[in-house]
Chains A and B, each alone.
Chain A
C-alpha cells in the first residue's frame, strides 16, 4: 500500500562553503511527507534540521548551496523550477513559520494588511471586501480577536505573532506548512495552546505540517511520525508511537532516555557520552559510532543504509542492516 506522499525528498544535500572547507550540513537525506500528517523532525543544534527545512523551500542563502537531490512536491520537482516559479510555490503552496515571528512580519504593517496583502498577491481576483472578510474569519479561527487586527506586530505577544504566521499560511490555502522551532521562544502555557491550534488546523483544514524542533516533548505531543537527524544525516524515521516505545537507532535511544520526563518520578537522567561531531571533520562510517554503546567494526568504515526495522519504522544502523559475511 503506497502512502499518499505530498512531498518526496530524495538524496537531498546542502553544503556550506566556509573558509575552513566545505561543510555538508544535509547529507543525502531521503524522506516522504505524507498528505495530512504532522511530521516531527528532531535533532540537536547543528544537526542540519533547519538547513533541511530551508533547503526544501530553496530558501538557502549564499554560503549554502544545494549540491544534489530531488524535491518532488505534489507531482513537480521543485529543483527544476525557476526562481520566479519557486516564489509562487513558497508563498502559495508552502507556508512557513519560524522561531522568531518578529523577523518574518513587517514591523510597519498592520496584521490585517499582512493578511489582505497576502490574499491579494496570490488571488488577485479577490476584492478588498472579500479579502477583509476572509482575514477576519481566519483570525477568528486562530483565536485572534477581531479588535486586534489593526494592531502592529510589536503590539502582540510572541504566541499571538505565531498565530498570525499560521494564519498567513492558511490565507494562502497552503498545502504544507514548514514550522521551524515555532514554540521555542514561547512559554509553556502559550506553547501548549499553540500545539492545540496545530492539531485543530490539521483536523479542520487537512493541513500537512513539517514540525522542526529540538524539543522531544513537543514532537511526542503532536506528531504522527517522527524523523531523527544526527550530524547531517537521517538516522531513524517512523510512526511516533513505535519510535518512542521501541527506538532502534542507538542515537534515538540515547536521545529519548536523556529527556527529562515530568510524568516520571525522579530517578536519574541517562547521560549520553561525548558531543555531536564537527561537520568539518565528520567521523568515517556511521557518524554516531564514536559515541555508540553498541559500536562494531563495520560501523567505523561504512555508512549504514536506511533499512526497515519494523512496520512503518526505518533506521540507518548496522545492528539491523545487511552484514555481509557476519
Chain B
C-alpha cells in the first residue's frame, strides 16, 4: 500500500537529478570530419531536476519541441538519460535490470494523446485490459482476472462492463476509447500515471467528462499524475504544481496558483498571455515575443529565451540562470526575476 504516512513533508515518488537527454542527429561521414568527430545532437532535455510528490497532480507544460514528452518517457525509463539520475520511490531506474524494471513497471503507467493509436484494433476492449493483468497479476485465477477487468471498466464509467468487454476499439466513441486506455493503465493498480496530452484529441464537451473522471480515479485509486500538456487553461483546473519547459530547460516551477498569479519568468508570462480567453470582453492586447523557438541542436547561449526576451541584459546571453527559489516553493530560472 502506498498511503504510508501523510504528515507535513510529502513523500517523494519521483525525483529527477540533473537529467539530460541528447538525441544524436544522423549525419554523414563528411559532417563527422567537419565537426571533428563530434556528432551534433538535439538537446531535448538539458540538466533538469525536480520532484513529484505522492498524491499530487504535477503539470509539465511547454510548446512543441520543449522536451516535455521526453521527460515523461525518461520518468518511466522508456528512454535512458544521457546523464543524471531518475529515481522512483528512491529506486534509481537507470541501470536496473530488465526483470527488476518489469516488476516496477506495474507501479507506473502511461496514457497517450491518441487512444486509437494506443489500442490494438484487433484486440477487444476486454483483451486489451486483460493483457497487463496476465503479465503483472499472474497469481490471480482466470475468473478473478476477468472480474478485475470488469471492475475497472465500471470504475471508468463503462457501464454495464459486460456490454463493452467484447467490443473492438472502432465500435466505441473517442471519449470511450480514452476511458478504456485509462482502465488498462489502472488495472495493475499503479501509483504513478504519466498522462501525455490525455485529452488533447477529445472535443470540448467530452474533455470535461474525461478530466472529471481522471480526478475521481485519482482519489479512488490514490494516484499521482504527471500531467503533460500544452494547454495552460486546462492545467489550471487540474494541477497542484506546474513546471514550464522551454527548449529542454525548466524555466519555472511552483504551486499552480502562485505561478499563474505571480509569474516570475518572462516566457511563462508570454505563454499565459497567449492563451485565448473564452470571453470577447477580455481580448489580449499584450504583444507577443518576437521570433520563433530556435533549434534545439544549437540552442542560444546563456538563457535560452534571451534572444526573444524583452527584459534581456548582457548577463542573459552569457550565463544560463539556474532555478532559484524566489517565492515559497516557487522557482524560476531568470536573472531578472525578483
Stretch at the interface among A26-34, A164-172, A189-197: A189-197
Does B184 touch A at the CB level, under 8 Å?
A: no
Asked if B278 contacts A261 (CB within 8 A), the reply is yes
Asked if A189 contacts B280 (CB within 8 A), the reply is no
Question: Interface code A187-215, partner B: CB below 8 Å = 1, 0 otherwise?
Answer: 11111110110000000000000000011
Asked if B274 contacts A192 (CB within 8 A), the reply is yes
Task: Choose one: A256, A260, A265, A268; the contact of B231 (CB below 8 Å).
Answer: A260
Most buried by B among A196, A214, A262, A276: A262
Does B190 touch A at the CB level, under 8 Å?
A: no
Chain B residues within 8 Å of A268, by CB: 212, 237
Does A323 touch B at the CB level, under 8 Å?
A: no
Does B300 touch A at the CB level, under 8 Å?
A: no
A262 CB to closest chain B CB, in angstroms? 4
Asked if A258 contacts B276 (CB within 8 A), the reply is no
Asked if A220 contacts B278 (CB within 8 A), the reply is yes
Chain A residues within 8 Å of B270, by CB: 189
Asked if A221 contacts B284 (CB within 8 A), the reply is yes
A190, B271: Cα distance in complex, Å: 10
Does B236 touch A at the CB level, under 8 Å?
A: yes
Chain B residues within 8 Å of A256, by CB: 278
Does B277 touch A at the CB level, under 8 Å?
A: yes
Asked if B279 contacts A263 (CB within 8 A), the reply is yes
Known contacts A187-B230, A188-B271, A189-B63: does B276 contact A218 (CB below 8 Å)?
yes
Does B207 touch A at the CB level, under 8 Å?
A: yes
Docked complex: B216-232 residues within 8 A CB-CB of A: 230-232
- Residue on B with the closest CB to A185? B64
- Residue on B with the closest CB to A215? B276
Most buried by A among B230, B271, B281, B288: B288
Chain A residues within 8 Å of B280, by CB: 220-221, 223, 240-241, 244
- Residue on A with the closest CB to B65? A187
Asked if A188 contacts B232 (CB within 8 A), the reply is yes
- Residue on A with the closest CB to B272? A262
Task: Choose one: B209, B288, B292; the contact of A192 (CB below 8 Å).
Answer: B288
Chain A residues within 8 Å of B271, by CB: 188-189
Asked if B277 contacts A258 (CB within 8 A), the reply is no
A268, B188: Cα distance in complex, Å: 29
Docked complex: B274-329 residues within 8 A CB-CB of A: 274-284, 288-289, 292-293
Interface size class of B (residues with CB under 8 A): 35 or more
Task: Choose one: A241, A254, A262, A271; the contact of B212 (CB below 8 Å).
Answer: A271
Chain B residues within 8 Å of A263, by CB: 277, 279, 282
Stretch at the interface among B43-51, B125-133, B198-206, B330-338: B198-206
A201 CB to closest chain B CB, in angstroms? 16
- Residue on B with the closest CB to A159? B292
Asked if A261 contacts B204 (CB within 8 A), the reply is no
A214, B276: Cα distance in complex, Å: 13
Chain B residues within 8 Å of A271, by CB: 208-209, 212
Asked if A188 contacts B63 (CB within 8 A), the reply is yes
Chain B residues within 8 Å of A261, by CB: 233, 277-279
Does B234 touch A at the CB level, under 8 Å?
A: yes
A256, B279: Cα distance in complex, Å: 9
A256, B79: Cα distance in complex, Å: 40
Task: Choose one: B211, B273, B279, B283; the contact of A269 (CB below 8 Å).
Answer: B211
Does A266 touch B at the CB level, under 8 Å?
A: yes
Does B173 touch A at the CB level, under 8 Å?
A: yes
A277 CB to closest chain B CB, in angstroms? 11
Asked if A192 contacts B204 (CB within 8 A), the reply is no
Task: Choose one: A217, A245, A258; the contact of B205 (CB below 8 Å).
Answer: A258
A187 CB to closest chain B CB, in angstroms? 4
Does B84 touch A at the CB level, under 8 Å?
A: no
Asked if B278 contacts A258 (CB within 8 A), the reply is no
Does A127 touch B at the CB level, under 8 Å?
A: no
Docked complex: A229-269 residues within 8 A CB-CB of B: 240-241, 244-245, 254-256, 258-263, 265-269
Chain A residues within 8 Å of B255, by CB: none
Question: Interface code B44-77, partner A: CB below 8 Å = 1, 0 otherwise?
Answer: 0000000000000000000110000000000000
A289, B162: Cα distance in complex, Å: 28
- Residue on A with the closest CB to B231? A260
Chain B residues within 8 Å of A88, by CB: none
Asked if B288 contacts A275 (CB within 8 A), the reply is no
Chain A residues within 8 Å of B257, by CB: 265-266
Chain A residues within 8 Å of B173, by CB: 275
Task: Choose one: B207, B211, B236, B292; the contact of A262 (CB below 8 Å).
Answer: B236
Does A44 touch B at the CB level, under 8 Å?
A: yes
A160, B291: Cα distance in complex, Å: 10
- Residue on A with the closest CB to B176? A275
Does B161 touch A at the CB level, under 8 Å?
A: no
A268, B211: Cα distance in complex, Å: 10
Does A146 touch B at the CB level, under 8 Å?
A: no
Asked if A44 contacts B211 (CB within 8 A), the reply is no
- Residue on B with the closest CB to A216? B278
Does B40 touch A at the CB level, under 8 Å?
A: no
* Interface residues in chain A, defined as those with a beta carbon under 8 Å from any beta carbon in chain B: 44-45, 157, 159-160, 187-193, 195-196, 214-218, 220-223, 240-241, 244-245, 254-256, 258-263, 265-272, 275-276
* 11 extra A-B contacts, CB within 8 A, seeds A193-B288, A218-B276, A240-B280: A45-B174, A159-B292, A214-B204, A217-B233, A217-B277, A222-B283, A255-B204, A263-B277, A270-B208, A275-B205, A276-B205
Show 14 residue pairs from A and B whose CB-CB distance is below 8 angstroms, ordered by the A residue: A45-B203, A159-B292, A187-B64, A191-B274, A191-B276, A192-B288, A193-B288, A216-B204, A218-B276, A221-B277, A222-B283, A241-B281, A262-B275, A269-B237
What are the 10 tightest A-B residue pairs by CB atom distance, in nearest-first order? A217-B276, A187-B63, A44-B203, A260-B233, A192-B274, A262-B233, A188-B274, A272-B205, A269-B208, A221-B276
